[in-house]
């Protein structure tokens, strides 16, 4: 009887954690003039994609990013690269953004090269929280809160990133798996 009660408690707690993560999905990213047609397509993809396939890691994804902040034009194309990797039972990520370049500087980045280049990989703050429908990271530090959400389309090897850097900086990225 004790074991049945404990199992019921653990399943309820796990469901509560998953529900809490689900409630943390961003809901109003495309607001005001930030979301032109390209950003709206990325936001629509984010809403339609789901989850993160553990079997497809490690992987490097790179592509276009749009940054909406007081210092950046929300319509200007920038580039980003994300490395998703395994360590033990966890999934970890790190990444970089490149601003004002004419083409994707990460287009040919391999997993091995990304591991070398992204020197903060496997820092505890980079571990992904995984829910059934998305992956998530929340960085809290003394300067700014950074929140990243990832959703994947395994069929087309795409990953969409939505992020907030504090209250005034929003990021939308449409990334494709390299190689």
Q: Mark residue 63 as left, alpha or beta (left: phi above 0; alpha: psi -120 to 50; beta: remaining).
A: left
pLDDT number for residue 173: 95
Can you tell me the distance from the alpha carbon of 135 to that of 160, in angstroms, rounded to the nearest whole number? 11
Is pLDDT larger for residue 110 or for residue 3?
Answer: 110
Query: What pTM was estimated for this model as a whole?
Result: 0.79
Q: What average pLDDT does the structure give for the chain?
A: 78
pLDDT number for residue 103: 96
Give residue-wise pLDDT tens across range 115-168: 888 765 445 447 888 888 888 888 777 777 888 899 988 777 899 999 888 788
Domain positions in the chain: 2-177
| Tokens 């497809």 -> residue | 56
DSSP bridge partners of 64 = 79, 174
Reported as a pLDDT band with limits 50, 70 and 90, residue 9 is: very low
């Amino acid at each position: 009887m004790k074991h049945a009660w404990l199992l019921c408690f653990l399943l309820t707690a796990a469901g509560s954690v998953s529900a809490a993560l689900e409630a943390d999905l961003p809901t109003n990213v495309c607001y005001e003039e930030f979301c032109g047609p390209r950003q709206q397509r990325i936001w629509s993809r984010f809403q339609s994609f789901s989850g993160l396939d553990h079997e497809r890691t490690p992987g490097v994804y790179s592509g276009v990013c749009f940054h909406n902040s007081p210092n950046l034009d929300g319509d200007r194309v920038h580039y980003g690269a994300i490395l998703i990797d395994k360590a033990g039972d966890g999934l970890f990520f790190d990444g970089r953004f490149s601003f004002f370049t004419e083409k994707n500087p990460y287009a040919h980045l391999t997993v091995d090269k990304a591991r070398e280049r992204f020197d903060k990989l496997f820092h505890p703050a980079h571990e992904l929280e995984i829910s059934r429908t998305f992956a998530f990271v929340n960085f809290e530090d003394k300067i700014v809160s950074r929140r990243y959400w990832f959703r994947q389309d395994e069929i087309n090897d795409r990953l969409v990133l939505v992020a907030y850097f504090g209250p005034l900086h929003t990021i939308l990225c449409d990334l494709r798996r390299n190689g």
